[in-house]
Structure 1
């Protein structure tokens, strides 16, 4: 079976306050009751679902509401053997709620083509929602240890009332992850090629199992037929032997019945 393509996804921020004052937590952007950390985790789950259908092995830097240091997030990505990495966030701009749009950030020149592919997919997916495409922006201070194609996606502004309303809608979130997904496929055709290889291998394995099951069934039927053949043959032989014995018993000549003879003594007529 071919090895799956591995992609790492980072749900930005995370964690909640506890009774322990030393426990760190980071909700991200907060507007009213809406928290960035909850949006990013939901987007990560949705993107994971799409990628799994493509036979991709998905690694999440977090899958619960937990605080994870940036360095530990990258350690998890690096340990997974991922071939590309996307960090999910939403944007914010204090003081001007009119600021809007989607942007894709990248840390190094090596990641520029990947960021451009993600941006193109995202722009196309969000076009029907009239989201402005702010393009790609270099952010060298982000993911400084990155050695694979890396991008940070900020699809909308939580501080913009219209975009905040969209971020609460399922169809808009589905469009975001679909755009990222399409960008990933465009960035590396090996994702689709690996899916095809895995599908072919799975089909071949299924056909092999089916052939083995059919062969086993044929062998079982043959064994059953052989057993019945031996049983019936034995019965036939026994029947022939018994019939022959009966016929011999009928044809054996019987001795004639014994008849007792009677003798008459003759009387003498001589004279004295």
Structure 2
């Protein structure tokens, strides 16, 4: 896997990936499906992915500090569905490798299920990473269950509000299908990328709680901001994260801990 800024994992780091997808009904499947299958719990069966964002990160095992490696967004605007699924399989970490992690929000119920079913529909069976993560896996951390282990589960927007990240500006009242019909992919991409960043921050807070340390949260805020700023104009849709007041707070906190923590 391409490792972005770092080129490779440092000693003592674990490789992780946050993934989120945007889906719309597949008209070919809907035409053959029972009435009512487009909405509700069964909608993942009739949907296909039109946009996917993957944020690759590394976590230091010793102290839990987080480092963003890279972010990729894939859309059906730029490629067919088969190549999109193949690229996702390439970007995902190896589920069989020691210490690798997958982070999602409701990914076990939706994202990974849709990706698995779409790969099956397209006869794409030789996708070992996608296949491995789409099955039950101990290192797939689903933040929906982390923040609400019992139903009713919280939404990502609710979890984001809890940790101080406002997702309201990335939301549109129009469904993705309507934006695609208009030929306007920007709102879909913005929502998808924002959801990935919010899920990454939710993971950082959850990780900090489990470790009893502020370091995962502090390094997540500062390094996510660094990654977004490095994207230049392409990062404008994520400024709610890169310019968040917690970035400066986290940077000051890290500076007080010395060079090792802030590295």
Instruction: State the TM-score, normalized to the length of structure 2.
Output: 0.33
**Bigger CA radius of gyration:** 1
Instruction: State the TM-score, normalized to the length of structure 1.
Output: 0.32
